[in-house]
Structure 1
Amino acid sequence: MAGVTGVAAMSVLVMVMVVQMVAMMGVTVEAQGSWAVLQKNAGIASMHSAVSHFDQVIMLDRTNIGPSAIKLPGGRCRKQPLERVSKTDCYAHSVMFNPNGGGVRPLYIFTDTWCSSGQFFDNGVLVQTGGDFEGNKVIRTLAPCGAGGNCDWVETGARTTTGRWYASNALLPSGTRQIIVGGRDGPNYEFYPKRFAGEGSFYVPMLGGQDTLYPYVILLPNGNVFFFAGRKSVQINWNNQKTVRTYPDIPGPNRNYPSAGSSTLLPLTWQNNFGQAEVMVCGGAAGGAAKANNVNAPAVASCGRMVMTAANAGWAMSNMPIRRTMGDMINTPDGQVVIINGAQNGFQGWGKANNPALNPVSYNPGNGRYAVLAKTNIPRLYHSTANLLSDGRILVAGSNTHQFYTYTGAFPTELRVEAYSPAYLGAGNNNVRPGIQGYPRAIKYNQVFAVTFGIGARAGGVECVMNSAPYSTHSYSQGQRQARLKTSVPVKVGGGWSVQCTAVPSANVLPPSYYMFFVVQNGIPSRGVWVKQNN
């Protein structure tokens, strides 16, 4: 500290002490990764988003907000007599966004999609369920297309048994049926499509009440489904509608809407034959903050992990270096979890949060350590989304803390789309990043298949990794899962390398669908390619 005196010396000493104390807590202080704005005006503030296997991002907002910032093409207008704001509406409330170039194409939505849910089918069709008012029981689909296509939303005519506002969806092992869980005034679950004519919904007591909206829903390796709502969680055999297991409550306050914690299934791995499933739940609002309308209440820093498949399952707790409500959790191909977006005070709702959490945080499930990542300058609060792209970036969009589109005042409606590039995409890694050259476009369960790739001179093991394409909304990525496949030692082939990858054993691990496929070498992932997991 030579040359540093007085107040400056004290400041340096305090900073050193803070870094040392944070390190003792298992946290690494690292400003890493980078940000880039991809589009200054996407036309809508993304409330829901999903990435199709054409590498296009489908974004939706509500319809009952009045004008958006993008019109429907060709003078088309939506004439909806049940609409509560604009019965004749010539503005789009859904768009298809191209993350490679920033192009935006308006899409047509007829009924309100406010706080709705969704999931892809095995054929790549995005199913979108529920919403508010006239959209409450509506089921919509979009068969995706590339950047030059003209695909659009279709209302199927099918309806859910119960109104689904703030519900969650998960793909079941068939790949052709989804389970739709919870929602306001919907303490139950049902299926789309129905298993038989006249099938209704099935009551689950823990899905009712405050802080249980947008429940966390996870397909388990045994074929059952895990539900988490508030602080409680159960395992359901959806074939016979039986609750087969009740888990301990997570410590701390409630975690679901409007508390706005977040959750993800940690990576499934070949080392235990994909039989161990572990959930992680992070952050949320302070206990009672929403009920007391305390917009300044400090958010929660705690995270809990629980092995749902363990005989003595219980929560193991840790603290994030940044407290956070309305965060999004993303499984990145290097095996990390990135926690991004949100606020440090308040809870979900219009104007109910402040003090944006501008620094993402990464978490290493292997050693339990956190790292603070590079800061954005754009707050992402209520109604924002985050999705992994196949090139390894994380796309973030949205944030509207107001009832309508409002471009003035604190935290205005956010139309910009940006991408966070983790450190593995840094310039120093360009010459050692694997480049996939040959791979199967479709794989079957237990199949052993070859992948060839080019790579720079670099030491370290190679892994084949598959990531789902979840539906992101309200701090939860519905259907998010990652599988790390058994991978052979690389063999030199011509000017590149080849490995043998072994597919997962069953549809309970990865239901039939399209997945992003990566080759990861010593923590550096390739650009992903899309593969179809078939039965």
Structure 2
Amino acid sequence: MLLQFILFVQFTLFTPPSPLHADEGGGGGGRWELLQNDVGVLPMHMQLLHSDRVVIFDRTDFGTSNLPLPEGKCRMDPNDVALKLDCTAHSLEYDVASNTFRPLMVQTDVWCSSGAAASDGTLVQTGGFNDGDRRARVFKPYPNGSDWEEIPFALNVRRWYATNHILPDGRQIVIGGRRQFSYEFFPKIGGASRTYSIPFLAETTDQFIENNLYPFVFLNVDGNLFIFANNRSILFDYARNKVIKTFPAIPGGDPRCYPSTGSAVLLPLRNLHARAIEAEVLICGGAPKGAYNKAINRIFVRALNSCSRIKITDSNPQWVMETMPMSRVMGDMILLPNGDVLIINGAGSGTAGWDNSRDPILSPILYRPTDPIGSRFRLLNPSTIPRLYHSTAVLLRDGRVLVGGSNPNVYYNFTGVPFPTELRLEAFSLPYLDSKCENLRPKILSPSSQTTVRYGRPLTIRFNVNITSGVRLDTVAVTMIAPPFNTHSFSMSQRLLMIGGEYVTKVRNVAATWDVHVSMTKSSTITPPGYYLVFVIHREIPSKGIWIRIV
């Protein structure tokens, strides 16, 4: 399952300030760690699987990578524009626990493609360039190792720069792509092959620029899709191929999709047992109108410093504008276990595309959705590594964010260019992982990882936490996340849910141990089937996660 979810259960007995707010006046926080100096393959696309391993891949027509395939393995591709015979890898599997990686073999070009994790945990990846544009590829996270399997002609049309989203029935919808104003499904029901037109994608295309590639897509609480392209958005009934609602254009009219690449998240969904559930979308960064053509002519326009937030379930929805601490294009927005949003990677000027950006933004930003407007942003500690075009970021089970990529060049160029190809892999530890939070960090005792849970059924999570004298267990949360597919500054199917009305009980005769009681949602529209990470949160500080599967 590609959808990212958080089930948030909050109990307020007494609310002392969180240690995460103690130094917010001075800013800063967070810690960077170099994990690998050279993984050999550019992390253009990344997906965390329930095996606690991250699948990484770039494109096959770069020429050779820095990671050789196992002896005796070579890719023979007569359609490749760089090499017909290539004995280097263009994909790898990174083992988070051991900080090691192994090469994988992908046969066709996965450049600027899309994907999702299916309900059985298999990574399904679709489209790409050249001989890969109609392919689907699957990677099954077997414990003893596996490799990519390819399905020829799995897509009806060529899909390059498309967006995938998991649906309530477990299928993926594949939307758009370069010069493709349509959508289709994978897998096809009963083998049926059909493509559905969506004129909205044609209407939002700029001549020669597009600005509607990798559209932002979210599953709304009513089962319809919110689709944002360029500077406009609709609510779309994919089953009936019908536009339900047209939203106002973003104030200012500047584009936010590729190549004027901003990023977007669906903010936490609350009150899920109410008759009317509210849903909000947040879109941050991007590039002004005309910035792409100017960047091609080596004029790098300052990126946008605005965020736009809209309640898509309102009868008369309007965008509310906010200002980030700095301008940013090609930033990644990652939902965190405690409900905050991390904005990371990107540049201060230019756009996406080959050598089209300048002024790397090294400092991440934390966005707190429930804080008062005007005080939601917090600047965090910077990295030393520029992360520009083709950078990626994904949340890990231990609460860190894995960061890789950056290749503003046509090929693997390590010298003689403003920003060389970047093969280093980093982890960013959020302020909630600081040592000052250690005594407040919960530890999950049960259930065990890989537990299966059914819709609508109760779930009890037992945990302990070191509570010092005079400190009460005032705020507890259970968070449940299905990590998304990340590429080109968008985490496909990212989603967060907040569920209330449950309770916490103290475990008798066991020190510092509690049970938190939750119920699984009954609707696959809210929680499509698949693997999820479960965290316990105490005063905004997450435990390490465990994996469960919802069926």
Q: How does 1:507-526 map to 2 (within 5 A)?
A: 507-526=524-543
1:389 aligns with 2:406: no
Which of 130, 134, 137 is the matching residue for 1:133? 130
The counterpart of 2:435, out of the listed 427, 439, 451, is 427
Alignment match, 1:414: 422
Which of the residues 445, 469, 487 maps onto 2:483? Answer: 469
Summarize the Cα distance change of 1:391–1:487 in structure 2 as closer, same or farther, 3 Å threshold: farther
The AA in structure 2 aligned to 1:171 is I
Aligned residue number for residue 32 of structure 1:
29
Matched, 1:399 2:401: no
Aligned equivalent of 1:297, options 282, 301, 307: 301
- Kindly report which structure 2 residues correspond to 1:279-428, keeping only aligned pairs within 5 A, or say none: 279-293=281-295, 295-367=299-371, 368=373, 369-408=376-415, 409-428=417-436
Q: Deviations over 1:28-81 (max 9, x none)?
A: 651101110111111111100000001100001000000101010123100011
Aligned mates of 1:361, 1:87 — CA distance in 2: 43
One-letter amino acid of the counterpart of residue 482, structure 2 = S
Matched with 1:41 is: 38
Provide the C-alpha distance between the structure 2 equivalents of 1:296 and 1:272, rounded to a whole number of angstroms: 48
* Cα shift readout 1:312-333 (whole Å, capped 9, x = no counterpart): 1111110111110000000001
Contact 1:77 1:89 in 2 (8 A): yes
2:62 and 2:410 in contact (8 A); partners too: yes
CA contact (8 A) 1:266 1:481 kept: yes
Structure 1 counterpart of 2:174, from 171, 180, 183: 180
Whether contact under 8 Å (2:198, 2:241) holds in the other structure is: no
2:68 corresponds to which residue?
71
**Percent of residue pairs bearing the same amino acid type:** 40
Give per-residue Cα distances to partners, 1:203-229, cap 9 Å, x unaligned.
Answer: 222213220000011111111111110
Letter paired with 1:37:
L
- What displacement does 1:295 show? 4.4
Aligned to 1:292, what secondary structure does the other structure show? Answer: helix
Q: Please, which of 523, 535, 550 is the counterpart of residue 506 of structure 1? A: 523
- CA–CA separation in structure 2 for the residues paired with 1:248 and 1:370: 25
In 2, the alpha carbon distance for the partners of 1:468 and 1:29 equals 33
Q: 1:488 aligns with which of 502, 507, 524?
A: 502
Do the aligned residues in 2 keep the contact of 1:324 with 1:342 (CA within 8 Å)?
A: yes
CA deviation vs aligned residue, 1:405-428 (integer Å, no higher than 9, x gap):
111132111111001100000011
Q: Scaled by the length of structure 2, what TM-score is found?
A: 0.89
Unmatched segments (≥5 aa) in structure 1 = 1-26
Counterpart amino acid of residue 211 in structure 2: D
Report if the CA contact (8 A) 2:503-2:518 is conserved.
Answer: no
- In structure 2, how many angstroms separate the alpha carbons of the residues matched to 1:197 and 1:51? 29
- 1:150 deviates by 1.8
Distance 1:348 1:359 in 2: 19
Q: Higher mean Cα deviation, 293-302 or 362-371? A: 293-302
Deviation at 1:180, TM superposition (A): 0.2
Matched, 1:93 2:90: yes
Which residue of structure 2 lines up, in the alignment, with residue 59 of structure 1?
56
| Residue 85 of structure 1, CA deviation | 0.6
Q: CA deviation at 1:131?
A: 0.4
Deviation by residue 1:354-404 (Cα, 9 ceiling, x = unmatched): 111100001111014100001100110000100001110010001111111
Partners of 1:390 and 1:358 in 2: CA distance: 24
C-alpha displacement at 1:198, in angstroms? 4.0
Shift of 1:442: 1.9
Distance 1:422 1:330, change over 3 A: same
Q: CA deviation at 1:158?
A: 4.2
1:168 aligns with 163
Report the CA distance between 1:287 and its aligned residue.
1.6
Cα distance change on mapping 1:325 and 1:29 into 2, 3 Å? farther
Say if 1:269 and 1:446 are closer, same or farther in 2 by CA, change over 3 A: farther
Q: Secondary structure at the match of 2:436?
A: helix
2:193 maps to a residue whose letter is E
2:437 alignment partner, SS class? helix
Once residues 81 and 488 of structure 1 are traced to their aligned partners in structure 2, the CA distance between those partners, rounded to angstroms, is 59
Runs of 4+ deviating beyond 6 Å: none
Moved more, 403-412 or 344-353: 403-412
Does residue 442 (structure 1) correspond to residue 442 (structure 2)? The answer is no
The 10-residue stretch of structure 1 (310-319 or 211-220) with the greater mean CA deviation from structure 2: 310-319
User: What code does the residue aligned with 1:321 have?
Assistant: P
Q: List per-residue Cα deviations over 1:115-135 (Å, max 9, x = no partner).
A: 000001100011100000110
User: Which is further off, 194-203 or 28-37?
Assistant: 194-203
Opposite residue 343 of structure 1, the aligned amino acid is: A
For the residue of structure 2 that corresponds to 1:483, the secondary structure is coil
**C-alpha spacing 1:272/1:211, structure 2 compared with 1 (3 Å):** farther
- Answering whether residue 452 of structure 2 is matched by residue 452 of structure 1, we say no
Contact 1:387–1:396 under 8 Å retained in 2: yes
Q: What is the rounded CA distance, in whole Å, between the counterparts of 1:487 and 1:99 in structure 2? A: 35
Match of 1:59, SS state, is strand
**Aligned AA (2:456):** N
What does the per-residue CA deviation read over 1:483-531, in whole Å, with 9 as the maximum and x for residues that have no partner?
2333634322123111101222311112111111111111001101111
Range moving further from structure 2, 345-354 or 451-460: 451-460
Conserved 8 A contact 2:294-2:301: no
| Structure 2 gaps, min length 5 | 1-23
SS in 1 for 2:120: coil
CA distance in 1 between partners of 2:128 and 2:241 (Å): 25
Deviation, structure 1 residue 267: 1.5
1-side partners of 2:61 and 2:362: how far apart? 29
Shift of 1:197: 4.3
State the Cα distance separating 1:447 from its structure 2 match.
2.0
Higher relative contact order (CA 8 A, sep 6+): 2
* Distance in 1, Cα, partners of 2:137 & 2:255: 31
Aligned length: 505
Amino acid at match of 1:60: F
RMSD after superposition: 1.5
The one-letter amino acid of 2:158's match is: G
Tell me if the contact between 1:38 and 1:99 (Cα under 8 Å) persists in the aligned partners: no
Asked whether the equivalents of residues 284 and 299 of structure 1 are also in contact (C-alpha less than 8 Å), the reply is yes
Per-residue Cα deviation, 1:414-463 (whole angstroms, up to 9, x for no partner): 11100110000001112220000012712222222111001011443101
Give the AA of the match of 1:249: A
